[in-house]
Amino acid sequence: MSKDELVREVATSLRLLQQSFDAFDEAAATALKLNRTDLRALDLLLAGSTPLSAGQLSAALKLSPAATTTVIDRLERARLAGRIQDPHNRRRILVAATDTAREVEQDVYAPVGVAGAKALAGYTTEQLAIILDFLRVARHVQEEQATRLTSARP
């Protein structure tokens, strides 16, 4: 295959990969009976080691404070997160994932890690280094293009 062809194939493969990510997220949300927003919020809560305040969650989700309140409400009702008063600042509340959420997360994401690791095991370290470099470059390009679009405000 020529280099030009390869470049094109990489581009389309990237698009397809993106779609598969999307499909997986959709499947995960359905499996957990959550909407995409609530799943994103739960991921954020599970990712960090310390609980997030409602405001931090709002910023991270790029959602209005009002909407964030209802996100927390829904997660709380599903017993996946809980509100805690911030001991240092009683205006704030902290939102923490529950143990149930952690278990559920394991069920959903652990197999992905296993399958991913297995799939990567076949590559040499040199190859992995190339892949890693590519992933970072690709991300950089995407972010550059995203800022180009957001900063162009005529």
Partner DNA sequence: ACTCATCTTTCGACACTCGAAACCTCCTGT
Partner DNA sequence: ACAGGAGGTTTCGAGTGTCGAAAGATGAGT
Asked if 39 and 29 touch (Cβ cutoff 8 Å), the reply is yes
Q: Which of residues 65-84 bind DNA (CB under 7 A)?
A: 65-72, 74, 83
DSSP-derived pairing of the beta strands 81-85 and 52-53: unpaired
The minimum distance between CB 145 and DNA, in angstroms, equals 23
**What does the longest C-alpha to C-alpha distance in the chain come to?**
63
Q: Which of residues 21-80 bind its own copies (CB under 8 A)?
A: 21, 23-24, 26-28, 30-31
Contact region for its own copies (CB under 8 A) — 52-60, 63-71, 87-95, 106-114? 106-114
59/73 Cα distance (integer angstroms): 17
When asked if residue 132 is in the footprint of its own copies (CB under 8 A), the reply is yes
Left (φ > 0), alpha (ψ -120 to 50) or beta: where does 33 sit? left
Residue from 28, 54, 81, 101 binding DNA (CB under 7 A): 54
Footprint of DNA (CB under 7 A): 35, 37-38, 53-56, 58, 62-72, 74, 83, 89-93
